[in-house]
Amino acid sequence: MRERLLALKEEALGELSRVENQQQLNDLRVKYLGKKGRLTEILRGMGALSAEERPIIGQAANEVRGAIEAVIEEKQTGFQKAETEARLAAETIDVTLPGRPAARGAVHPISKVIEEIEDIFIGMGYTVAEGPEVEQDYYNFEALNLPKNHPARDMQDSFYITDELLMRTHTSPVQVRTMEKMKGQVPVKIICPGKVYRRDDDDATHSHLFTQIEGLVIDRNIRMSDLKGTLLQFVQELFGKQTQIRMRPSFFPFTEPSAEVDVTCAMCGGSGCRVCKQTGWLEILGSGMVHPRVLEMAGYDPQEYSGFAFGLGVERVAMLKYDIEDIRHFYTNDLRFLKQFVHL
Ligand code: FA5
């Protein structure tokens, strides 16, 4: 029996030395040490042994079991270690690999110019106001001294939704809304950026949808010279110190007197070029002193208060600033065009 035990040990250790994986190891454990395994099978013959032999064989059997278990244990530890190492290797992160760049959007050039203009006016003490794009005829026209059938309504051919509702044709209705909200209080000092809509045919300098920034100041003793000084400071901050302005008499039903304002052409510095059609000047906005009737309708006594207002075309300013020859580039969303503004 002792020989059988030793032979079993040799056989088991021999087989164990060749195991390659956990599954084979488990199988051998069952084969040799399991309840119905080979060792148990041999030990079943113990009953036939004499009383002296039994403890000796018992001890030998324990030694064999211990030897086999020790090897199984050692193999087991080896497999677990190898498995952990393999898992760690598979999960390794190479921190030196370059990252995958996420596609980043950028601010649209029109939004950039709006922000820049807002910053300039905020620096002069203005606040930013907003109004609806779907506007009532009253605010878009009537309260601005353009009664129904007034011929100047044609200047801003409109998209009507109903008889009384339209897409606003300019940002000037926000003047009236702000004055109503202020209920006769001064000073009023706002700018209002926003989209406006007109039934203009699209061409290189006209779009049926474009952006305006309205400005409005109301207080006691506001004069035309305040308007001129404000606009001069504004264009010099936006286009550079060398920029000059020119005011040309004009007509808007909501301002009296009214003026269109040109700036010296940023392309040629005023000497005349293709962009300014050889005049040296470029028109960027309409302006004037708020009409007494508009003040009165909005609850301000024109005997006591006066004000100026202006409305500038943001696309026209952006075209000048970035030398863009066609307004439609802003709205066709060609990435080759838009990408040029990413780092500005
Ligand atoms: C107005 O809209 C007046 N509300 C401006 C104003 C406000 C005057 C306050 C007095 C007091 P006008 O229609 O001229 O004015 O438009 C103002 C500016 O918008 C123009 O100078 C021009 O820069 C721009 N603009 C006008 N029509 C278009 C268009 N179809 N596409 C792009 N820009 C335009």
- Whether the CB of 9 sits within 6 Å of ligand 1: no
User: Residue 266: CB within 6 Å of ligand 1?
Assistant: no
Which tokens in the block code for residue 290?
């708020």
Residue scoring higher pLDDT (120 or 280):
120
pLDDT of 203-224, one tens digit each?
Answer: 988 999 999 999 999 999 999 9
Centre of ligand 1 from the C-alpha of residue 314, in Å: 9
Of 68 and 132, which is predicted with more confidence? 132
Q: How far is the C-alpha of 171 from the C-alpha of 192, rounded, in Å? A: 7
Mean predicted confidence (pLDDT) in 108-118: 96
**Residue 140 CB less than 6 A away from ligand 1:** no
Give mean pLDDT, residues 4-13.
Answer: 87
Among candidates 5, 16, 11, 19, which has minimal Cα distance to 65? 5
State whether the beta carbon of 311 lies less than 6 angstroms from ligand 1: yes
Q: Is the pTM of this model over 0.75?
A: no
Does residue 215 have its Cβ closer than 6 Å to ligand 1? no
Give every CB contact of residue 279 below 8 A, 6+ residues apart in sequence: 265, 272
Among 336, 335, 337, CA closest to 327: 337
Residue 279 has pLDDT above 70, yes or no: yes
Could you tell me what percentage of the chain is helix, strand and coil, using 3-state DSSP and rounding each to the nearest 5?
45, 20, 35
* Probe target for ligand 1 pocket from 135, 172, 263, 329, with the most ligand atoms within 8 Å of CB: 172
Q: Which residue lies with its CA nearest to atom 12 of ligand 1?
A: 286
Average pLDDT in the chain: 92
Check residue 317 and give its pLDDT.
93
Q: How confident is the model at residue 156 (pLDDT cuts 50, 70, 90)?
A: low
Please say if the pLDDT value at position 304 is more than 90: yes
Helix (H, G, I), strand (E, B) or coil at 202: coil
Task: Classify 275 as helix, strand or coil.
Answer: coil
Q: How far, in Å, is the centroid of ligand 1 from the Cα of 274?
A: 22
Query: In whole angstroms, what is the distance from residue 333 CA to residue 336 CA?
Result: 9
Q: Ligand 1 centroid vs 88 CA: distance in angstroms?
A: 67
DSSP β-bridge partners for residue 194: 212
Whether 284 lines ligand 1, by a CB cut-off of 6 Å, is: yes
Instruction: Give the C-alpha separation, 230 to 195, whole Å.
Output: 23
pLDDT at residue 341, rounded to an integer: 87
Place of tokens 């000084």: 229
Nearest C-alpha to atom 24 of ligand 1 is from which residue? 313
Ligand 1 atom nearest to CA at 308: 11
| CA distance linking residue 248 with residue 233, whole number of Å | 18
What whole-number distance in Å separates Cα of residue 248 and Cα of residue 262? 8
